[in-house]
Amino acid sequence: MDSPKFLRRAEKKLKRMQKALSRCEKGSKNRAKARKKAARQHAKVADRRRDWHHKESTKIIRESQAVYVEDLAVSGLGRTRLAKSVHDAGWSAVVTMLEYKAAKHGRYFGRIGRFEPTSQVCSTCGIKDGPKPVSVRQWTCGDCGTVHDRDINAARNVLAAGRADRPNLWSAGKTGPRPGTAP
């Protein structure tokens, strides 16, 4: 799920409006107009982002029985050089929407701990390869030789960790047919 980068696309227009606002004399009617114009543009960006979040989260919930997300420290990421991109993606808003929509539609929603080494463990053989800088987007497992894309590998590990936290009830000694299957 790639975010459309709403803030990045509107940045040039927002910059121009903010510049015009800062040039206006404090307390003037033109400043009030410029402030409203800039606020309207910021609201448009926020509305577009929120609309996209709602559409994507609804699509994810409708297509899935269970959704697992990694509990990231978004506020910590917001203090790095990636801050603008992190806030533009709106990760916390998406997670919140997924959580309440999962409850509304009767789906399972699970969070994986933020200290789970999802990008350090090989999803094929399970060997922990150690921390890697964010610039490393692909890596090869030293044990089994599998070439991994960092994000896809982490997603596989999040899914595996989520499934491990919630074992299948029917494999835990229950007898008889599974619900929804013909007897």
Mean pLDDT by 10 residues, the chain (183 residues): 81 93 94 95 93 93 90 80 81 90 92 83 83 82 84 86 71 50 48
Q: Alpha helices, DSSP H only, in the chain? A: 6-23, 29-63, 74-77, 83-89, 91-105, 150-165
Per-residue confidence (pLDDT) for residue 183, from 0 to 100? 47
Mean per-residue pLDDT over the chain, rounded = 84
Backbone angles phi, psi at 181, to 5 degrees: -110, 155
Beta strand pairing status for 147-149 and 138-140?
Answer: antiparallel
For residue 99, what are the CA distances in angstroms to 67, 93, 103, 109? 9, 10, 7, 6
Q: Which two tokens stand for residue 138?
A: 């692909």
Per-residue confidence (pLDDT) for residue 21, from 0 to 100? 94
Fill in the amino acid letter for 89.
A
Cα separation, 74 vs 92, in Å, equals 7
Cα separation, 72 vs 76, in Å, equals 9
Going from N- to C-terminal start, the domains of the chain cover 1-113, 116-168
Largest interatomic CA distance in the chain? 78
Residues 6 or more apart whose CB falls under 8 angstroms from that of 31 comprise 21, 24, 25
Fill in the amino acid letter for 139.
W
Q: How many CB atoms lie within 10 A of CB 37?
A: 13
Beta strand pairing status for 108-112 and 66-70?
Answer: parallel
Angle CA 58–64–67, to nearest 5: 85
Residues 6 or more apart whose CB falls under 8 angstroms from that of 81 comprise none
